[in-house]
Amino acid sequence: MSADVVEAPSFPQRRTCPYQPPGIYRDIAERGPINQVTLWNGRRVWLFTGYAESREILSDPRLSSDRSYDEYPTMAPHLGAEEARKLVLVGEDPPTHDIHRRLLNPEFGLKHARALRPRIQADIDALIDAMLEKGPPADLVADYAMPIPGLAMSALLGIPFADHAFFQDATRGVMQASTPEETNAAGKALFGYLDGLVSAQERDPGEELLGRLARRVLEGELGHDELVQLAMVLLIAGLETTSSMIPLGVVALFDHPEQLAALREGRVPVRVAVEELLRITAVTDFGGVRWVTDDIEIAGRHIKAGDGIVVSSTMANRDPSVHADPYTFDLSRGSRQHLTFGFGIHQCLGQSLARTQLEVAYETLVRRLPGLRLAVDSDELTMRQSGTMQGLVSLPVTW
């Protein structure tokens, strides 16, 4: 092995365990909280694995999320596509980011998430009903995890769930494509679909989020294309993460039957359990990608303007200075000291809604299907081939 490979290993890498990071990440973190890694295109960037250092850097105003600059680190070939680079909100810096964030913050607070909870519960119960009626086995990805965020985002935004097959395929195409061409095709298709929905809302605004924001367009506060782009980002972020997270958490529970029993029997409240599931099974191994606009000194490292920054949420969540036995899966831990939702100005807008969906999804699953178990050997489970968004192709279960 060359010295260069040792100094800056490739990143990201695929997991061999659905919910634990590759072993080499642990080797990197043991060298210190900030190290260099090599991306797919040969570029070296700074990887942050320490919890405190990650929070500090994500709060630094000398970082940029603007993907239109060459300095922005692209984490995979398809993420360099135009449709991935021009995403608003997640790819914006202040003051534009602040304007869009202030517009959306009230719509994604805890109050709105709680108001949607009965609807989420009813939708999830209907999915379980359908599984029971059909009988085992079932695919917990296709039959359960994927529809849940689609139903929630449809209710929130005012998007017809009847179109869910299309918009779920399109969002998956943007985030998990193999080539930039596939990403661009999926992004353009999704933009066209949402453009039509937004135009309809501008003609006759409804009461859901798209309708409320369409009124802002009519009043001149927001541009039509801006709203289409915002809807696109919300849909992509709202679907891919939650639908990937649910099956990963279930596999972690299957692998730890004593933890599953504690959740099923109510010895660990579901809201507590969800925090450990979020910490241990993060669906991406990087919780922040930025580039540096001015030199930064941090933790003994000199990071130069133009350098790329990648925060590994997976490893920051396993910082031994924050969590005792950080690789141990313990539902009763219940700590919110994790970076699964990021940190700083780009911290996940929809985290209250995500937590609500996860709480209802796990609680309903273990309550209504108490005998739930794998229908295949665990070594038959297949991870998706994308190294950027972790997830299972399918999860065959029986009960």
* 348-384 pLDDT per residue, tens: 999 999 999 999 999 999 999 999 999 999 999 998 8
Asked if residue 273 lies in contact with residue 331, where contact means CB atoms within 8 angstroms, the answer is yes
Tokens at 188, concatenated: 């353009």
Which segments of 137-208 does DSSP mark as H helices, in order? 147-157, 164-176, 180-203
Q: Pick 282 or 392 by higher pLDDT.
A: 392
**How far is 34 from 184, CA to CA, in rounded Å?**
33
Q: So what's the pLDDT on residue 1? A: 38
Q: So what's the pLDDT on residue 79? A: 87
Q: Report residue 78 CA to chain centroid gap.
A: 17
**How far is 330 from 303, CA to CA, in rounded Å?**
36
Average pLDDT, the chain: 94
Q: Which of 7-16, 30-39, 73-82, 161-170 has the highest mean pLDDT?
A: 30-39
Asked if residue 393 lies in contact with residue 383, where contact means CB atoms within 8 angstroms, the answer is yes
Q: So what's the pLDDT on residue 149? A: 95
> Which of 18, 114, 120, 152 lies closest to 363, judged by CA?
120
Provide the residue ranges of all domains of the chain, joining segments of one domain with +: 3-398
The pLDDT tens digits of the residues spanning 216-247 come to 999 999 999 999 999 999 999 889 899 999 99
Mean local confidence (pLDDT), 330-348? 95
Q: So what's the pLDDT on residue 385? A: 67
3-state secondary structure of 24: helix
The pLDDT tens digits of the residues spanning 165-208 come to 898 899 888 888 888 999 999 999 999 999 999 999 999 999 99
List C-alpha distances in Å: 86 to 38, 93, 228, 310: 24, 12, 12, 19
The pLDDT tens digits of the residues spanning 79-125 come to 888 888 888 999 999 999 999 999 999 989 999 999 999 999 999 99
**How far is 4 from 320, CA to CA, in rounded Å?**
27
Q: Which CATH superfamily is domain 3-398 in?
A: Cytochrome P450 (1.10.630.10)
| pLDDT band (50, 70, 90) for residue 281 | very high
pLDDT at 5 over 60: no
Mean local confidence (pLDDT), 12-21? 90
Give, rounded to a whole angstrom, the gap between the first and last alpha carbons of the chain.
47
Tokens at 276, concatenated: 């450990």
Q: So what's the pLDDT on residue 148? A: 97
> 145: which DSSP letter?
I
Q: So what's the pLDDT on residue 33? A: 98
Please name the residue that has the structure tokens 């279960």: 397
**Amino acid in position 98:** D
